[in-house]
């Protein structure tokens, strides 16, 4: 049976979005509407191909199983960090004929991984793309209720997605009898309160239920016992924003972008010591050097790159020598780190990697929910040890202590992966920047001219702003 959407007999009357290429002459779709005037509104979204996929599916005779198959065939992998197959995840939802319990979609818009700011662009600039992705996911999994869990600090994102849901509801695209069919789906908004742990899928569900966001042990997995112990799927914003394009353009088109094992485009947020920080849409598998040099304008002030984080603070710090690695799941793993959320953080030659790691460790100590002793105690000790090495009060044996602590925390020794998120960069700095750790201990201070560096950091504070 063909799963090509082009074979659907009832073609939509809405024009498909034009194929737009980035300044680098690469095809973009996720950000194709970003920058249009009023891109967040329904008329603009519809004028540029919006809701064509939903119309195709609902009026073109698609079955939920067919939609899941197309998404599976496309090879789309989750953009929330773990990179799990989206179609496969959807297929874990039980057959409603055998399990008639209510079922839910929880949309992960918590975006709290340091360095990550790509879901925000989608929610602020193209919220209907997310709404359409949610509706398609709900149709595929026979879900009637979706919750969008938005990071508390993202006020505009919340406002824009809520407004898009209201507009879609008024236009008969959300609620009962969508586009005059029997498909019914409601979308509700929820504001988080600024806790990183609430981005972890089971912490998110606890929080949505009105409780403290403490992750739950797995199994049971969300598809069996999620929100209110009912079948639930949790998906990231960018993952869902891909779905309308996968439906209208087909699995083969999607696979023509990216690499065979990591297909499609990805939003890469690049920050730190670069000339043009920002969020760029690029095919998976693009070289990190291209992102740095062609998109972000290279390392700022003509300096040299020293180190970089490929996918948010929980992915290991790599040396500059690895900058030619391809930005896809397998290549980055081979290079000793992870693609994570595609949030590249670049450090120039004046940066102290020990200081950077101390800041990262402080974040994980602060955000540990405290349920598991390995994480609660481990993150605190990691921070203390990195801090004392950075202050020049470390001991040589502290370096082994860091590795031994990280080994006690991960992998898979705790309820959720927050402990892994602190342990992974710890292992990476010990492996890749051991000499710098040792030098701090030997000299009893940071070997770099930290005062010069601190002075230059004021360059980052906009004129007139108060530090």
Ligand X SMILES: Cc1cc2nc3c(=O)[nH]c(=O)nc-3n(C[C@H](O)[C@H](O)[C@H](O)COP(=O)(O)O)c2cc1C
What is the SS3 assignment for 137? helix
Closer CB to ligand X, 196 or 254, in the complex: 196
Closer CB to ligand X, 110 or 124, in the complex: 110
Q: How far is CA 211 from the centre of its chain?
A: 24
Note whether 439 and 447 are within 8 A (CB).
yes
Closer CB to ligand X, 234 or 448, in the complex: 234
How far apart are CB 10 and ligand X at their closest, in Å? Answer: 29
How far apart are CB 377 and ligand X at their closest, in Å? Answer: 17
Nearest to 306 by CA among 272, 261, 260, 263: 272
Closer CB to ligand X, 196 or 433, in the complex: 196
Closer CB to ligand X, 104 or 300, in the complex: 104
Closer CB to ligand X, 5 or 83, in the complex: 83
How far apart are CB 145 and ligand X at their closest, in Å? Answer: 18
How far apart are CB 111 and ligand X at their closest, in Å? Answer: 5
How buried is 52 (Cβ within 10 angstroms: 0-12 exposed, 13-18 middle, 19+ buried)? buried
Residues that bind ligand X in the complex, under the rule CB under 6 A: 78-82, 84, 89, 108, 110-113, 196-197, 199-201, 234-236, 239, 416-418, 421
**H/E element, 165:** helix 155-170
CA dist 272 and 460 (Å) reads 10
Structure tokens at 355: 């200081």
How far apart are CB 463 and ligand X at their closest, in Å? Answer: 32
Strand-pair partners of 28:
20
Q: What share of the chain is helix, strand, coil (3-state, %, to 5)?
A: 45, 15, 40
How far apart are CB 424 and ligand X at their closest, in Å? Answer: 11
How far apart are CB 432 and ligand X at their closest, in Å? Answer: 23
Strand-pair partners of 305:
348
CA dist 295 and 309 (Å) reads 16
Strands (E), 43-185: 104-109, 145-150
Sign of CA dihedral 120, 121, 127, 133: negative
Closer CB to ligand X, 84 or 396, in the complex: 84
Note whether 231 and 205 are within 8 A (CB).
no
How buried is 326 (Cβ within 10 angstroms: 0-12 exposed, 13-18 middle, 19+ buried)? buried
How far apart are CB 237 and ligand X at their closest, in Å? Answer: 7
Closer CB to ligand X, 113 or 328, in the complex: 113
CA dist 92 and 374 (Å) reads 31
Closer CB to ligand X, 191 or 388, in the complex: 191
Note whether 441 and 394 are within 8 A (CB).
yes
How far apart are CB 364 and ligand X at their closest, in Å? Answer: 9
Closer CB to ligand X, 50 or 78, in the complex: 78
How far apart are CB 215 and ligand X at their closest, in Å? Answer: 8
CA dist 342 and 339 (Å) reads 6
């Amino acid at each position: 049976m063909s799963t090509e959407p082009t074979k659907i007999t009832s073609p939509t009357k809405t024009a498909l979005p034009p194929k737009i290429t980035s300044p680098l002459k690469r095809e973009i779709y996720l950000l194709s509407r970003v920058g249009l005037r009023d891109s967040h509104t329904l008329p603009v979204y519809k004028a540029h191909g919006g809701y064509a996929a939903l119309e195709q599916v609902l009026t073109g005779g698609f079955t939920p199983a067919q939609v899941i198959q197309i998404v599976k065939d496309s090879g789309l992998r989750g953009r929330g960090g773990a990179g799990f197959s989206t179609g496969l995840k959807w297929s874990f939802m039980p057959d409603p004929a055998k399990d008639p319990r209510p079922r839910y979609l929880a949309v992960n818009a918590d975006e709290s991984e340091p360095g990550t700011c790509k879901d925000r662009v989608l929610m602020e600039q193209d919220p209907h793309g997310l709404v359409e992705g949610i509706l398609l996911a709900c149709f595929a999994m026979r879900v009637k209720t979706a919750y969008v869990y938005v990071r508390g600090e993202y006020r505009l994102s919340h406002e824009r997605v809520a407004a898009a849901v209201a507009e879609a509801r008024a236009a008969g695209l959300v609620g009962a009898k969508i586009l005059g069919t029997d498909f019914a789906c409601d979308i509700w908004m929820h504001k988080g309160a600024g806790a990183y742990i609430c981005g972890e899928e089971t912490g998110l569900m606890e929080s949505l239920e009105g409780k403290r966001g403490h992750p739950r042990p797995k199994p049971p997995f969300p598809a069996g016992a999620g929100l209110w112990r009912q079948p639930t799927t949790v998906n990231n914003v960018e993952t869902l924003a891909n779905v309308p394009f996968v439906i209208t353009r087909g699995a083969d088109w999607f696979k023509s972008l990216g690499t065979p094992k990591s297909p499609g485009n990805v939003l890469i947020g690049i920050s730190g010591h670069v000339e043009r920080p920002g969020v760029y849409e690029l095919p998976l598998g693009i070289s990190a050097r291209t992102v740095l040099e062609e998109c972000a304008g290279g390392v700022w002030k003509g300096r040299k790159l020293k180190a970089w984080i490929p996918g948010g603070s929980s992915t290991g710090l790599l040396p500059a020598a690895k900058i030619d690695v391809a930005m896809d799941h397998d290549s980055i793993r081979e290079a000793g780190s992870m693609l994570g959320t595609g949030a590249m953080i670049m450090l120039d030659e004046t940066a102290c990697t020990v200081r950077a790691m101390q800041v990262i460790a402080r974040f994980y100590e602060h955000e540990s929910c405290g349920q598991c002793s390995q994480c609660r105690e481990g993150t605190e000790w990691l921070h203390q040890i990195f801090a004392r090495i950075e202050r020049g009060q470390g001991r040589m044996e502290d370096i082994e202590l860091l590795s031994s602590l990280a080994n006690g925390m991960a992998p898979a020794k705790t309820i959720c992966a927050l402990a892994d998120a602190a342990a992974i960069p710890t292992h990476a700095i010990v492996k890749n920047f051991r000499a710098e750790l040792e030098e701090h201990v030997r000299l009893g201070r940071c070997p770099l001219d930290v005062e010069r560096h601190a002075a230059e950091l004021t360059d980052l504070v906009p004129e007139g702003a108060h530090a």
